[in-house]
A and B are shown apart, each in its own frame.
Chain A
Amino acid sequence: MAKIGKYLLRAVAAALMASPIYWVFVIATGYHGAAYALPPVLRPLFHWAPFVYVWTHTHWERYVLNSVFISASTIILVVVTSAFAGYALAELKFPGNSAYFYASLGVMMLPQQALLVPQYVVMFHLHLLNTYAGLILPFAASTSGIFLFRQFFMKLPASYREIARLEGVSTLTYLRRVAVPLARPAVATTVLLTFISSWNQFQWPLIMTNSLRLQPIELALSHYMQTYQSNWRELASAALIALLPILIVFAFTQRHIVRAVAGGETPQKE
């Protein structure tokens, strides 16, 4: 009896948490005025016409491409800088090694909201306002990425590096051919976490850009929301554009993501 109760409670909790996202579908693909129906409509009708209308009447493809470009560049840079620093911290002896480890952890302790004003000034002087570089470079290094790669490289047998050194293989080649391919789970985790934070980026582009051409999807959505106030079907359709890539990626990798968030522990099987 208690088991069934718990089972039901779990189902209810999961349904409640997921229902707002489900409602985006219901309203976006429902009949006209579904958002105003009382009692609320519960079943999506899968009318994709309004979604297509919204998609074709605003330059969403531009904004989606902006987000894709910004996310992809950030991901590549984060993987490279994290693998570099993670390797140096795990395998190389140099003065300042542990100091840098703590310094990179310390970045997480800096309150982001308190830094925005001085960051804006720095961006102004570096001429990075209103540029793609300004949306990418500040996120090109990641504490959690460095930490993950460091943990992973520390588990690699020291003999690998010994052999590479005896064979006269350079550090970069060793990283590219041996260490990083072996650290595939760390790469996957870093890629996923960076994608999520990068795709969901909102406040930074809001402050650091004012050109429509550079807008990533979340910022474009925020402006759209102002123009189409309480046109719920249009708004829900537009929200779906920002939501779908995240939902698709999450559907296929949720185990990996949840485990990564729960403490960077990476799955053993590939």
Chain B
Amino acid sequence: MMDGGLSAGTPRGTARPNVLSWLRRLQQYALKETLIGYGLILPSLLVFLVFYYGPAIFLLYISFFHWNIFASRSSFVGLHNFVVLANQPLFWQSLLNTGYYVLLVVPVTTLLALGLALLLREARNIRGGGLSQALVFLPHVTPVVATSIIWTWIFDPNFGLANAVLRVLHLPQLGWLASAHWALPSVMIYTVWHSVGLYTVLFLAGLSTLPKQVLEAAQMDGARGWLAFRRVVLPLISPITFFVILLATITTMQTFSQIYTLTGGPHGGAGGPAFSTTTDSLLIYQTAFLYLHFSLASAMSFVLFMLILAVTLVQKLIADRMVFYR
């Protein structure tokens, strides 16, 4: 029982050598330095344990136990919460909405960010180049509620800018946030606007590390324009592209504030019209904090947790085949 493989270097079988080598390994640490080290990591460790890792483990517990925040007792109910969840049409609707939202926002944001980065790349040393980069990035640091206010005005069906632009272009007027068809796309437009600057900056950082010699060599060999971009630049920045897609997917799967604010806030029935903008995180919020159904909400949270984990792993597997690490 003792030789649980504490050190892999010593032969198995007897307990003593393992414990000894383990102690020997401990000896290389000075006691005082160790204590100071633990003392220094303690404050942040406490925060991470109490507010992040603790709740993550606790989530497992409350999804499988019928659990009430005011009751002291709870009992194991196994998959009961998940069965109830699977019978909620709104839950499936929220997954569909989230999928629709993610599958449109992530590719659009990534392509737009790459385009903007290529456009801004040479501008860094030109007058005004820094300014355009700053303006593209600016929306990302703005508070979501404050900027959602102006976007609800833009999307106003009667007086808004969006319909004014459509009128000039002789296109049909849209209901935007008031229509079940266009409400989620309206939120998508806001999200792209709010986040594309971040990914542009990440792409710019990736582009700035490209080795000059490789690009020059490609040009010497006659690779220019589109060909050079596709065959040389794109493979070289593939690690950044992977990172951007991963980050964008994980972030958009969890969009909350702009959906809540743009589609109605606390009394206006956020998630509407007709549940067309009810995504997973909004439904978790409403189930837990509006309808106070904590066990159902934690089952949903568990599903979301697993979904994000699965998406991350799948993307990692794809990336291992496609990403070119120098």
Contacts and interface: CB of A to CB of B under 8 A. Distances in A.
Interface of A: 6-7, 9-11, 13-15, 17-18, 20-21, 23-24, 27, 35-36, 38-40, 80-82, 84-85, 87-89, 92-95, 97, 100, 103-104, 107, 109-122, 124, 126, 137-138, 140-141, 146, 171, 196, 199-200, 202-203, 206-207, 217-219, 221-223, 225-226, 229-230, 232, 235-236, 238-240, 242-243, 246-247, 250, 254-255, 257-258, 261-263, 265
Interface residue SS majority, chain B: helix
Given A10-B120, A138-B51, A221-B146, A118 B298 contact: yes
Contacts of A7: 126
Contact of B308 (A94, A103, A111, A263): A111
A118 B59 contact: yes
Contacts of B19: none
Query: In this complex, which of A40, A93, A202 has the most chain B Cβ atoms within 10 angstroms of its Cβ?
Result: A202
Nearest to B255: A113
Contacts of B201: 258, 261-262
Interface stretch (B84-92, B179-187, B283-291): B283-291
Nearest to B201: A262
Nearest to B122: A6
Given A118-B58, A255-B130, A262-B204, A218 B48 contact: no
Nearest to B297: A117
9 contacts: A20-B193, A40-B161, A88-B36, A94-B29, A95-B29, A126-B50, A138-B51, A229-B268, A230-B153
Given A17-B193, A218-B143, A254-B134, A171 B40 contact: yes
A179 to B, nearest CB: 11
Contacts of A116: 284-285, 288, 301
Given A39-B164, A85-B40, A226-B265, A242 B145 contact: yes
Contacts of A230: 153, 156
A266 B154 CA distance: 37
Contacts of B285: 116, 203, 207
B297 A35 contact: no
B138 A225 contact: no
A79 to B, nearest CB: 11
Contacts of A80: 43
A186 to B, nearest CB: 15
B131 A14 contact: yes
Nearest to B264: A226
Contacts of B301: 113-118
A27 B150 contact: yes
A17 B198 CA distance: 12
A200 B310 CA distance: 29
Given A85-B43, A104-B48, A111-B253, 16 more contacts: A7-B126, A17-B135, A85-B44, A92-B40, A111-B304, A113-B281, A117-B59, A117-B288, A118-B55, A119-B51, A121-B55, A138-B47, A207-B289, A218-B146, A235-B149, A250-B134
Given A119-B55, A141-B44, A113 B139 contact: no
Contacts of B147: 20-21, 24, 239, 243
Interface string B249-281: 010011011001100011110000000000011
A263 B145 CA distance: 27
A211 to B, nearest CB: 15
Which of A23, A109, A126, A222 gathers the greatest number of chain B CB atoms within 10 Å? A222
B188 interface: no
B44 A202 contact: no
A239 B141 CA distance: 14
Given A140-B47, A262-B201, A122 B138 contact: no
Nearest to B51: A138
Sort chain B's interface into a size bin. Answer: 35 or more
Interface centre among B122, B134, B281 (most CB of A within 10 A): B134
Given A88-B41, A114-B59, A114-B302, A122 B159 contact: no
A46 B34 CA distance: 61
B310 to A, nearest CB: 12
B104 interface: no
B159 A222 contact: no
B176 to A, nearest CB: 13
B144 A218 contact: yes
Contacts of B153: 23, 27, 35, 230, 232, 235-236
B62 interface: yes
A36 B204 CA distance: 39
A254 B294 CA distance: 42
Given A39-B164, A116-B285, A236-B150, A21 B47 contact: no
B266 to A, nearest CB: 6
B202 interface: yes
Given A23-B161, A92-B33, A226-B268, A18 B138 contact: yes
Scoring A23, A113, A203, A225 by chain B CB atoms within 10 A of each residue's CB, the highest score goes to: A113
Contacts of A223: 265-266
